[in-house]
């Protein structure tokens, strides 16, 4: 464990916030430690910002928003591409940072935790080229204008990706940003601020266009959500926390965009290529050790193929080597925090002791015991339960760890009913030997996105959910729309 070099202290030991175009000390003197997910030691520290810091940041953002709203498309495209290039240049260093603070295996961190955010910024730049800022309806000219100041509150599982999803859309729309990263994994947000500061100095951007205030959600998050100077609050996190953000923002009738939890179903129809469907489904469910809101954590299979699916799923999961996130052989790293580790293990114990509602689940792989040789850090065995009742807590609640449940169905209508029998509606998958048939089933699933036969993630397509999975959409034209106001001019 101790053979892995630690990142540059300049990336891990942060003593200042980025506000108004410069690094400055917080109004408070306290700091918060950041844990190394791989061994539980202290990885670094960040300032514990205050409501006073938020107020200063919002004032700076308000001034900057007026100037940036008047910028042209070409200038915005230049900034987005410069930020993308800046992240790409630092890809390895930031990937190692995220691997240690989140637990993501390094290879995946490079491609997904850093490579994807860089691609998303370029996708926003591409979208701006064809974005419709105005159109005519009869005697009215309908125009879209920048909303103003965006408060961005981001999660710890994909810390840079979710920050870029909000900042990229806001900058494209002509807005300024006050961002608060999650305390569990905030260091990549500071690395992004480093990139932004360099781009801002080189291109002469308005001071306060992007601001970063770290600190607890109970103070900094509340201050952003409840600030009268914030025009749009964009939040990604748990459903419970999202509801609190919405209540806080309601005091000033502030618009809210929420990307929340999920319990997505992966329907494997009888005509599907079982080998490919199950392997892809297991990899999806366990990506980032299951710390993915859109993960397909419910695998729905025909009852007659359940035994074969169990064998295939076990084999696929056994190939996911659990270990230190910086080891080349690792395919499954630790969870991001001791608290998350404890929560996931509690769910696994529930499955081991009770199973489902009305029937016992079968433990196929894994369990709640500490993985061999991984006593330090926040590791959890990849775990699969089969024969799970969809009414059980295992099937209804978001576990946010490497836990997959296999649920049998007797016919297609029942499969769709099970998929939709959830408080969430974020994502899902459908597998069939007939793509048109799979598409027809996908249309029946009440979720914000569905992948047919393993369709790839599209950073230009809208991302968001139905029901308790949230409000609004990120990425592409929809991700710009979230940060605009609509005006009708009659003539």
Active site residues: 259, 293
Query: What span, in angstroms and rounded, lies between the C-alpha atoms of 313 and 307?
Result: 10
Cβ neighbour number for residue 366 with a 10 Å cutoff: 23
Cβ neighbour number for residue 111 with a 10 Å cutoff: 14
Query: What span, in angstroms and rounded, lies between the C-alpha atoms of 395 and 390?
Result: 5
Query: What span, in angstroms and rounded, lies between the C-alpha atoms of 155 and 165?
Result: 12
- Tell me whether strands 298-302 and 403-409 are parallel, antiparallel or unpaired: parallel
Residue 326 φ then ψ, to 5°: -90, -5
CA 198, chain centre distance (Å): 26
Q: Is 393 helix (H, G, I), strand (E, B) or coil?
A: helix
Q: Is 464 left (phi over 0), alpha (psi -120 to 50) or beta?
A: left
Angle, CA 194 vertex, CA 190 and CA 198 arms, to 5°: 160
389 to each of 208, 336, 359, 406, 423, how far by Cα in Å? 51, 29, 7, 9, 15
| Helix orientation angle between 91-102 and 187-203, rounded to the nearest 10 degrees | 150
- Look up residue 134 and give its two tokens: 């105005």
The 8 Å CB, 24+ separation contacts for 106-114 are: 106/325, 106/326, 106/328, 106/330, 107/328, 108/287, 108/288, 109/325, 112/158, 112/161, 112/287, 112/288, 113/158, 113/159, 113/160, 113/161, 113/188, 114/87, 114/90, 114/160
CB 282, CB 315: distance < 8 Å: no
């Amino acid at each position: 464990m101790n053979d892995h070099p630690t990142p540059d202290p300049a990336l891990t030991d942060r003593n200042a916030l980025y506000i108004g175009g410069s690094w400055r000390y917080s109004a408070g003197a306290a700091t918060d430690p950041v844990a190394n997910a791989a061994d539980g030691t202290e990885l670094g520290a960040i300032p514990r910002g205050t409501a006073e810091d938020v107020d200063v940041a919002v004032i700076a953002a308000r001034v900057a928003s007026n100037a940036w709203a008047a910028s042209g498309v070409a200038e915005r495209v230049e900034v987005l591409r410069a930020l993308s290039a800046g992240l790409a240049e630092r890809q390895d260093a930031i990937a190692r940072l995220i691997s240690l603070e989140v637990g993501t295996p390094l290879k995946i961190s490079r491609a997904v935790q850093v490579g994807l955010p860089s691609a998303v910024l370029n996708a926003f730049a591409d979208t701006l080229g064809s974005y419709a800022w105005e159109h005519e309806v009869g005697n009215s000219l309908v125009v879209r204008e920048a909303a103003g100041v965006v408060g961005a509150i981001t999660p710890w599982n994909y810390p840079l990706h979710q920050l870029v999803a909000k900042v990229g859309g806001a900058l494209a729309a002509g807005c300024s940003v006050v961002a608060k990263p999650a305390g569990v994994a905030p260091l990549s947000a500071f690395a992004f601020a480093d990139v932004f500061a360099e781009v801002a100095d080189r291109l002469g951007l308005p001071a306060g266009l992007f601001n970063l205030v770290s600190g607890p959600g109970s103070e900094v998050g509340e201050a952003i959500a409840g600030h009268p100077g914030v025009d749009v609050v964009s939040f990604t996190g748990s459903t419970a926390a999202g509801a609190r953000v919405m209540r806080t923002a309601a005091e000033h009738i502030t618009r809210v965009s929420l990307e929340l939890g999920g319990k997505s179903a992966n329907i494997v129809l009888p005509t599907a290529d079982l080998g490919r469907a199950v392997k892809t489904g297991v990899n999806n469910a366990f990506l980032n050790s299951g710390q993915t809101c859109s993960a397909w954590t419910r695998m729905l299979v025909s009852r007659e193929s359940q035994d074969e699916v169990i064998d295939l799923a076990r084999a696929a999961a056994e190939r996911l080597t659990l270990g230190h996130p910086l080891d080349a052989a690792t395919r499954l790293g630790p969870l991001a925090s001791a608290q998350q580790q404890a929560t996931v293990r509690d769910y696994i114990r529930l499955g081991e002791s009770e199973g489902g509602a009305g029937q016992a689940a079968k433990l196929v792989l894994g369990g709640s015991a500490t993985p061999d040789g991984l006593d330090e850090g926040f590791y959890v065995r990849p775990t699969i339960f089969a024969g799970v009742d969809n009414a059980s807590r295992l099937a209804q609640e978001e576990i946010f760890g490497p836990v997959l449940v296999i649920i049998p169905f007797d016919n297609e209508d029942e499969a769709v009913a099970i998929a939709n029998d959830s408080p969430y509606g974020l994502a899902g998958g459908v597998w069939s030997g007939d793509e048109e048939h799979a598409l027809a089933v996908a249309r029946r699933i009440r979720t914000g996105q569905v992948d047919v036969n393993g369709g790839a993630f599209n950073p230009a397509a809208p991302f968001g959910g139905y029901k308790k999975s949230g409000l609004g959409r990120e990425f592409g034209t929809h991700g710009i729309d979230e940060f605009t106001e609509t005006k009708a001019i009659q003539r």
